């Protein structure tokens, strides 16, 4: 009976399947029919599993996604995470180190005089260092028990603290080393389950000796490559996670926006580049190109810093006055402009060959952006952009509108946000077991160090790699 049910059910998926007549039922037919029933049974179960109701509230919220059964996730009316490889259910326990628990952590958060305020640090393109910390403190994924934690978060605001003169490079380096030496769990895993945020182009280079201490840890950074002034990149595509830059809250918040997008047919320019040259080849070429083709490419001298700094609204008004927003490489490969484009609704054109983009397990960047070789910046680029019909541009902008929630550091209650995206990426990093070159274990499950001292008795300062 059960197999009959399954066979009936299978007509949902194979409606054109012909009926065998009993009169011609040879042994071969019987075997074939049995094989078909077995195969459809498993297929049906597989399909039911993918389509059926799921207990996870997260998954339900992304249920509109178009899945194709080759395992590829396509854009539907929403975005979603594939269950392939890491489950449909997001369960994660993250321990957040407390500033009072580890000596030195306060220095990395507030500077040597303790005066750098999180309120100041949460603004601007590097605000993610504060935002992610705050979101984690309130998160349902937070645990207060180290023993049950999958991952450990080390909060710091070093980018902001350094910018505001709160600590020198040397102090940052020494303080990090001191902080890490007080964390037995860091020692246990060699840092493999510890998370650090480095929100700027410098990435983990903000901590000079990162390569010695953090080269096994999980680094959250918008920066996939910063090799302009160094020969190494601190980013590792398999261990680290690219996070979106922090777009101005005035553009990402629901309700009143700083500026509202307007129809692309009304935009004055084909493309624009808003930013400083910084002596970079690609940027200088764009500025030259804008002089050659002032009607097509806008590249105004904008004061992006200093006393006559352009207002936020004015900046976004400029940015939205073109169909395409060019995002060339600067000191490093990522630029905030890429993310901002989605909120003013221009199509971002990436001119930064080494760029790494966030959430690639679910976003197909071909549908929302263009990446053009930085070695071919010139009239050819403008001709190409001009050849793209407005309809296609509208389509890309519409797709971008669907995914841009992933660039917003919204509260956890929002179903689609940068934070949720980061949690899903972190989920992929969770390991059941942790070890390092200096971690050993015995027949009874005791974890010991090289001197056979039990883990519970490891006392700071712990020797570091």
Residue 209 as a binder of ligand NAG (CB under 6 A): the answer is yes
**Strand 322-328 with 297-298, pairing:** unpaired
Residue 51 as a binder of ligand NAG (CB under 6 A): the answer is no
Residue 415 as a binder of ligand NAG (CB under 6 A): the answer is no
Q: How far is the CB of 419 from ligand NAG (least distance, A)?
A: 29
Evaluated on CA atoms 202, 203, 207, 208, the torsion sign reads: negative
Residue closer to ligand NAG, measured from CB, 11 or 168: 168
Residue closer to ligand NAG, measured from CB, 56 or 209: 209
Residue 72 as a binder of ligand NAG (CB under 6 A): the answer is no
Q: How far is the CB of 174 from ligand NAG (least distance, A)?
A: 5
Residue 444 as a binder of ligand NAG (CB under 6 A): the answer is yes
Q: How far is the CB of 429 from ligand NAG (least distance, A)?
A: 18
Residue closer to ligand NAG, measured from CB, 68 or 444: 444
- Out of 215, 321, 354, 436, the residue judged to bind ligand NAG by CB under 6 A: 215
CB count, 10 Å around CB of 306?
7
Contact segment (CB under 6 A) with ligand NAG among 170-178, 270-278, 362-370, 400-408 equals 170-178
Residue closer to ligand NAG, measured from CB, 87 or 465: 465
Tokens of 61: 């919220």
Residue closer to ligand NAG, measured from CB, 233 or 417: 233
Residue 439 as a binder of ligand NAG (CB under 6 A): the answer is no
Residue closer to ligand NAG, measured from CB, 387 or 444: 444
Residue closer to ligand NAG, measured from CB, 92 or 234: 234
Residue 446 as a binder of ligand NAG (CB under 6 A): the answer is yes
Q: How far is the CB of 446 from ligand NAG (least distance, A)?
A: 4
Residue 442 as a binder of ligand NAG (CB under 6 A): the answer is yes
Residue closer to ligand NAG, measured from CB, 60 or 237: 237
Contact segment (CB under 6 A) with ligand NAG among 30-38, 173-181, 321-329, 419-427 equals 173-181
Residue 211 as a binder of ligand NAG (CB under 6 A): the answer is yes
Residue closer to ligand NAG, measured from CB, 262 or 441: 441
Q: How far is the CB of 454 from ligand NAG (least distance, A)?
A: 7
Which residues within the stretch 103-142 sit at the binding site for ligand NAG (CB under 6 A)?
Answer: none
Which residues within the stretch 176-195 sit at the binding site for ligand NAG (CB under 6 A)?
Answer: 177
Residue 212 as a binder of ligand NAG (CB under 6 A): the answer is yes
Lookup result for tokens 């207002």: 311
Residue 100 as a binder of ligand NAG (CB under 6 A): the answer is no
> H/E/C letters for each residue in the chain?
CHHHHHHHHHCCCCCCCCCCCHHHCCHHHHHHHHHHHHHHHHHHHHHHHHHCCCCCHHHHHCCCCEECCCCCEECCCCCCCCCCCCCCCCCCCEEECCCCCCCCHHHHHHCCCCCCCHHHHCCCCCCHHHHHHHHHHCCCCEECCHHHCCEEECCCCHHHHHHCCCCCHHHHHHHHHHHHCCCHHHHHHCCCCEEEECCCCCHHHHCCCHHHHCCCCEEEECCCCCCCCCCCCCCCCCCCEECCCCCCHHHHCCCCCCCCCCCHHHCCEEEECCCCCCCCHHHHHHHHHHHHCCCCEECCCCCCCCCCCCCHHHHHHHHCCEEEEEEECCCCCCCHHHHHHHHHCCEEEEECCCCCCCCCCCCCHHHCCEECCHHHCCHHHHHHHHCCCHHHHHHHHHHHHHHHHHHCCCCCCCCCCHHHHHHHHHHCCCCCCCCCCCCEECCCCCEECCCCCEHHHCCCCCCCC
Q: How far is the CB of 428 from ligand NAG (least distance, A)?
A: 21
Residue ranges that bind ligand NAG, judged by CB under 6 A: 173-174, 177, 208-209, 211-212, 215, 442, 444, 446, 465
């Amino acid at each position: 009976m059960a197999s009959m049910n399954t066979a009936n059910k299978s007509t949902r998926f194979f409606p054109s399947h012909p009926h065998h007549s009993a009169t011609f039922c040879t042994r071969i037919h019987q075997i074939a029919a049995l094989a078909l029933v077995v195969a459809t049974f498993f297929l049906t179960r597989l399909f039911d599993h993918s389509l059926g109701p799921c207990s996870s509230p997260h998954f339900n919220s992304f249920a509109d996604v178009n899945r194709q059964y080759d395992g590829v996730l396509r854009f539907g009316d929403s975005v979603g995470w594939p269950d392939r490889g890491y489950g449909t259910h997001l369960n994660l326990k993250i321990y957040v180190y407390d500033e009072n628990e580890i000596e030195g952590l306060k220095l990395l958060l507030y500077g040597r005089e303790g005066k750098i305020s999180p309120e100041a640090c949460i603004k601007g393109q590097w605000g993610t260092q504060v935002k992610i910390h705050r979101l984690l403190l309130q998160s349902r994924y937070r645990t207060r028990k180290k023993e049950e934690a999958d991952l450990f978060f080390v909060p710091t605001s070093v980018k902001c603290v350094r910018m505001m003169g709160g600590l020198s490079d040397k102090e940052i380096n020494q303080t990090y080393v001191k902080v890490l030496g007080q964390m037995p769990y860091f020692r246990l895993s060699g840092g493999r389950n510890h998370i650090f945020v480095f929100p700027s182009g410098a990435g983990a280079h903000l901590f000079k000796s990162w390569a010695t201490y953090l080269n096994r840890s999980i680094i959250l950074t918008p920066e996939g490559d910063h090799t302009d002034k160094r020969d190494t990149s601190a980013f590792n595509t398999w261990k680290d996670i690219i996070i979106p830059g922090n777009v101005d809250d005035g553009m990402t918040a629901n309700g009143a926006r700083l500026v509202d997008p307007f129809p692309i047919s009304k935009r004055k320019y084909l493309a624009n580049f808003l930013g400083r040259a910084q002596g970079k080849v690609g940027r200088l070429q764009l500025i030259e190109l804008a002089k050659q083709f002032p009607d097509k490419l806008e590249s105004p001298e904008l004061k992006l810093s200093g006393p006559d700094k352009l207002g936020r609204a004015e900046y976004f008004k400029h940015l939205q006055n073109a169909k395409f927003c060019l995002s060339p490489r600067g000191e490093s490969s990522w630029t905030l402009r890429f993310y901002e484009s989605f909120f003013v609704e221009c199509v971002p054109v990436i001119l930064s060959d080494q760029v790494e983009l966030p959430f690639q397990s679910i976003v197909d960047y071909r549908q929302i952006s263009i990446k053009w070789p930085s070695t071919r910046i010139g009239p050819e680029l403008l001709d190409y952009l001009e050849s793209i019909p407005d309809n296609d541009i509208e389509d890309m902008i519409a797709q971008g509108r669907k995914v841009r929630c992933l660039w917003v550091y919204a509260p956890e209650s929002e179903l689609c946000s940068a934070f949720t995206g980061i949690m899903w990426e972190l989920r992929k990093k969770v390991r059941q077991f942790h070890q390092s070159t200096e971690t050993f274990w015995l027949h009874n499950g005791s974890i010991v160090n090289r001197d056979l001292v039990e883990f519970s008795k490891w006392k700071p300062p712990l020797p570091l790699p």
